[in-house]
Amino acid sequence: MISLPALLPRFIVTVVTIILLFSSASAWKKDEFRNCDQTPFCKRARSRTPHSLPHFTLSDPSISDGHLTARLLQSISSSDNDSAAGDAPRPLLLRLSVYQGGILRLKIDEDHSDPSAPSKKRFEVPDVVLPDFEDRRLWLSRFSFSDDGSTSSVYLSEDFEAILRHNPFEVQVRRKGSNDPSISLNSHGLFDFEQLREKKEGEDWEERFRGHTDSRPYGPQSISFDVSFHGAEFVYGIPEHASNSLALRPTRGPGVEHSEPYRLFNLDVFEYIHDSPFGIYGSIPFMLSHGVKSSSGFFWLNAAEMQIDVLAPGWDDAAATGKGRIDTFWMSEAGIVDTFFFVGPRSKDVIQQYASVTGTLAMPQEFAIAYHQCRWNYRDEEDVASVDAGFDEHDIPYDVLWLDIEHTDGKKYFTWDKVLFPNPEEMQKKLFSKGRRMVTIVDPHIKRDDSYYVHKEATDKGYYVKDASGKDFDGWCWSGSSSYPDTLNPEVREWWSEKFSLKNYGGSTPSLYIWNDMNEPSVFNGPEISMPRDALHLGGVEHRELHNAYGYYFHMATADGLLKRGNVKDRPFVLSRAFFAGSQRHGAIWTGDNSADWDHLKSSVPMILTLGLTGMSFSGADIGGFFGNPEPELLVRWYQLGAYYPFFRAHAHHDTKRREPWLFGEQKTALIREAIHTRYSLLPYYYSLFRKASASGVPILRPLWLEFPEDKETFDNSEAFMIGESILVQGIYEEGQKSVSVYLPGEQSWYSMRNGAAYAGGQAHKLDVFEDSIPSFQRAGSIVPRKYRFRRSTTQMTNDPYTLVIALNSSLAAEGELYIDDGRSYDFEHGAYIHRRFVFSNGRLTSSSIDLAAASPREKFSSSCTVERIILLGMRPGGANKAVIEPGNYETVVEPGPLVLRAGAVSVALVIRKPDVHIADDWTIKVL
């Protein structure tokens, strides 16, 4: 029997937790989280000035196994920190490797062959770099010394070389024949590497924060260095931070008021504020730089806490050179130096180079890119049925209904509350009969309840993360006292993945998909609401070393579970809150608990754009804002913007008022319906972009500069974005906004998607703002495939005919693409898809096939879909009145028509009516 005194602490924790989580008056609790000054490794590193440390010298460069290897030695021991004070530092091992496509990899670690090296090995993050990346390594067979012997250089690509300066040590990537680097490391002599060592007598390695003690058994082990991006106007990336700026603002140096570095530490931050360098749920230590002439990138594969400063010109007291260089300073608590330099030189090259290391997004099923309806919580089966019916009654399509934590039996995942959800299978089948799916939540905190099979198995098999004393770690989360599977361990991942089989997950059906939340991991009574850093994973890896990748592994194991459940025939859908570099291979992510205010609406765009630039293309923000009740105007604007997010889901906290789309009066319902219809009409275009992103890594939502890399006006634009290459959207972020200035880049014009009107490119336009939509434009020279029949869900749209919207450029030409497959399986990997290329020129539209993968033998995929309309934006009225279709040589009419088929819609462009050609066929249509 458990005594009352034994229960008391638990009771207190519960009460405190409840107060903490549900006091709606509270906002972001800054004090819960450490700032740089409260984080000793960050404070130490940040207090250094350039070249103030004893410098590192490179010696004994040689070629070994196709790498360049060398030793790095610090001239004397460091004295400004608590690292190796008094000890002679051991030489470090450096290894430089070169990969196809312009990628340089630099690794620096301790030399474990040194007899004086401690037995503990520093953590190298496994499973993130693609398994086949090593196949792309170029075998280095030689390097050259400079004439004076001060540098060594190796071949990097046709245009670039890597230079190693020996003393002081510096790495430079530069264009051949030029003396100017494009990226460099340690140009400011800030490189430092705290080596593992024995504790000295009287030394205190413990760190304390708000009543939590981190035992730090291995002592200081941080690493820091400076990285400079030359020829750069701005730097971008390193999510996740809430910000209303896409370009990373300087965090230190002249003119910087609030001096905190960008923190990369996955945390469950309650009511995060919309603009702060503070770290939230996910971390991707990848930064891109961009300037008029070129782009480059830098990625540090390290899953420990990281802090990154972007330094304002003059930070080092040197006069700004005016040459466009951005200096940054990277600090990590643990791990090794495992860094990747991407030479670009174009921004899309940088993205593809990064994708060749960490992978591209997993191609989602078609339903997953349509509209999702979520709420914490849909109460019971009746509620689910009535929300589902509500969509049909109001003629609004949706594809997925979500169930949050309350659907479970006492927050035991993989179970159902038997009273509220007595027939889960039937419920899912009913939804699926309308082509709709369901998602349930499965979090990593496993309730410590002996009658719960998941807990029992994990305990018996020893699958939980351990605390510093070696016992199963016990932390507090939704399920009360909980433990966390150690998904770093492949055996645990295998076990976890089996939990999703239809047999093991009672009440699940093949149309059920999964949501992984709280996987930072969130631990309500832990330091900074997370797991203690001295908790232990497989092989004695400390949680501090892997923290930022915990959610990654959990997401991976879950996605693998769904893959196996469907016999590798059904593409998984798993939404995760926490993420790390490479999470794009496992599924989608969202930006967590935002708030129902205009500022959060605005910051969603730079946040999603940043995620796209760093591989996580499939992402979105909670439509309407998670906390609080949006005014109807805000909700409508959020739907209008969110309809363009790659991941399109409405979600709300359980304390908020219900906000299904039809609850704000007929007029608002109509506006929301219109926004959702816009997304559904663009699904063929989106799906084609997802395929492109899954093949190349280029994001779906793109900053304007990715498409207009030389246009400086676009570099700092955080309010507008491109969807692929052809559509530009400007958000409306203010209440009652009547007009907006929209910058339309490039030399060609843009056509309003609202009314077909043309606007000149290369200038800003002051435009009226309407209630019915936010400004969106199709680029002249593009062809966008759409579908305009609105159904209950994507499933019913499969055989619907297409509309092609042709936006003519000044030469009356345009081109575009369409990708189609079965929307579900992996057959596309064996050639079962249709990929068309449309070209309009000289009054003739042709459709031909593009073969992405020359798979042989090719599996078949066919579609009976036809093209029902072709809209010609930019063709003068009367410019054509009929069209002749080949093969067949038959005619159809060309006449003025509306953009959208709807009663009362006005004719704004010439339309080829009913060409009725098959989408899968080759054909030509000539307008006369």
Nearer to ligand NOJ, 376 or 552 (CB): 376
Contact pattern from residue 72 through residue 111 relative to ligand NOJ, giving x for each residue in contact according to CB under 6 A and a dash for the rest: ----------------------------------------
Q: Which residues contact 528 (CB under 8 A, 6 or more apart)?
A: 32, 33, 34, 209, 265, 267
**Residue 592 lies near ligand NOJ (rule: CB under 6 A):** yes
Nearer to ligand NOJ, 207 or 404 (CB): 404
Query: Residue 559 half-sphere exposure, CB side, CA atoms within 13 Å?
Result: 23
β-strand partners of 714 = none
Total site size for ligand NOJ, rule CB under 6 A: 10
Nearer to ligand NOJ, 174 or 445 (CB): 445
**Residue 404 lies near ligand NOJ (rule: CB under 6 A):** yes
- Restricting to residues 417-476, name those near ligand NOJ by CB under 6 A: 441
Nearer to ligand NOJ, 193 or 478 (CB): 478
How many CB atoms within 10 Å of residue 177? Answer: 7
- Rounded to whole angstroms, how far apart are CA atoms 710 and 745? 10
Q: Find, among 46, 473, 28, the residue nearest to 280 by Cα.
A: 28
Task: Kindly state the helix (H) or strand (E) to which residue 311 belongs, with its residue range.
Answer: strand 306-311
- Rounded to whole angstroms, how far apart are CA atoms 926 and 914? 14
Least separation in angstroms between residue 363's CB and ligand NOJ is 25
Backbone angles phi, psi at 909, to 5 degrees: -150, 165
Q: Which residues contact 512 (CB under 8 A, 6 or more apart)?
A: 428, 437, 438, 439, 440, 505
Cα angle, residue 719 at apex, residues 716 and 724 outer, rounded to 5°: 90
- Restricting to residues 336-395, name those near ligand NOJ by CB under 6 A: 376
**Residue 572 lies near ligand NOJ (rule: CB under 6 A):** no
- Restricting to residues 114-173, name those near ligand NOJ by CB under 6 A: none
Nearer to ligand NOJ, 484 or 743 (CB): 484
- Rounded to whole angstroms, how far apart are CA atoms 330 and 336? 13
Least separation in angstroms between residue 244's CB and ligand NOJ is 21
Nearer to ligand NOJ, 311 or 529 (CB): 529
β-strand partners of 107 = 95, 338
Contact pattern from residue 513 through residue 552 relative to ligand NOJ, giving x for each residue in contact according to CB under 6 A and a dash for the rest: ----x-----------------------------------
- Rounded to whole angstroms, how far apart are CA atoms 111 and 95? 11
Query: Residue 462 half-sphere exposure, CB side, CA atoms within 13 Å?
Result: 7
Tokens at 795, concatenated: 């499933």
Least separation in angstroms between residue 612's CB and ligand NOJ is 21
**In which region does residue 410 sit, left (phi positive, over 0), alpha (psi from -120 to 50) or beta (all else)?**
left
Least separation in angstroms between residue 739's CB and ligand NOJ is 35
Least separation in angstroms between residue 240's CB and ligand NOJ is 13
Query: Residue 409 half-sphere exposure, CB side, CA atoms within 13 Å?
Result: 15
DSSP category for residue 6: H
Nearer to ligand NOJ, 600 or 651 (CB): 651
Q: Which residues contact 808 (CB under 8 A, 6 or more apart)?
A: 780, 781, 814, 840, 872, 873, 874, 875
Q: Cβ-closest residue to ligand NOJ?
A: 376
- Rounded to whole angstroms, how far apart are CA atoms 486 and 467? 12
Least separation in angstroms between residue 593's CB and ligand NOJ is 5
Nearer to ligand NOJ, 404 or 486 (CB): 404
520 counts as catalytic: yes
Least separation in angstroms between residue 512's CB and ligand NOJ is 17
- Restricting to residues 840-879, name those near ligand NOJ by CB under 6 A: none
**Residue 585 lies near ligand NOJ (rule: CB under 6 A):** no
Catalytic-labelled residue, pool 192, 327, 388, 517: 517
Least separation in angstroms between residue 755's CB and ligand NOJ is 37
Q: Which residues contact 540 (CB under 8 A, 6 or more apart)?
A: 120
Contact pattern from residue 597 through residue 626 relative to ligand NOJ, giving x for each residue in contact according to CB under 6 A and a dash for the rest: -----------------------------x
Nearer to ligand NOJ, 225 or 414 (CB): 414
Least separation in angstroms between residue 675's CB and ligand NOJ is 21
Catalytic-labelled residue, pool 268, 472, 520, 817: 520
Contact status, residue 162 vs residue 140, Cβ threshold 8 Å: no
Amino acid letter, 814: A
Catalytic-labelled residue, pool 593, 660, 707, 817: 593
- Rounded to whole angstroms, how far apart are CA atoms 123 and 121? 6
Nearer to ligand NOJ, 478 or 833 (CB): 478
Helix (H, G, I), strand (E, B) or coil at 420: coil
Contact pattern from residue 625 through residue 664 relative to ligand NOJ, giving x for each residue in contact according to CB under 6 A and a dash for the rest: -x------------------------x-------------
**Residue 593 lies near ligand NOJ (rule: CB under 6 A):** yes
Judged by CB under 6 A, the residue of 174, 577, 779, 836 near ligand NOJ is 577
- Restricting to residues 733-772, name those near ligand NOJ by CB under 6 A: none
- Dmax over CA atoms of the chain, in Å, equals 93
Helix (H, G, I), strand (E, B) or coil at 624: coil
The footprint of ligand NOJ (CB under 6 A) covers 376, 404-405, 441, 517, 577, 592-593, 626, 651
Active site residues: 517, 520, 593
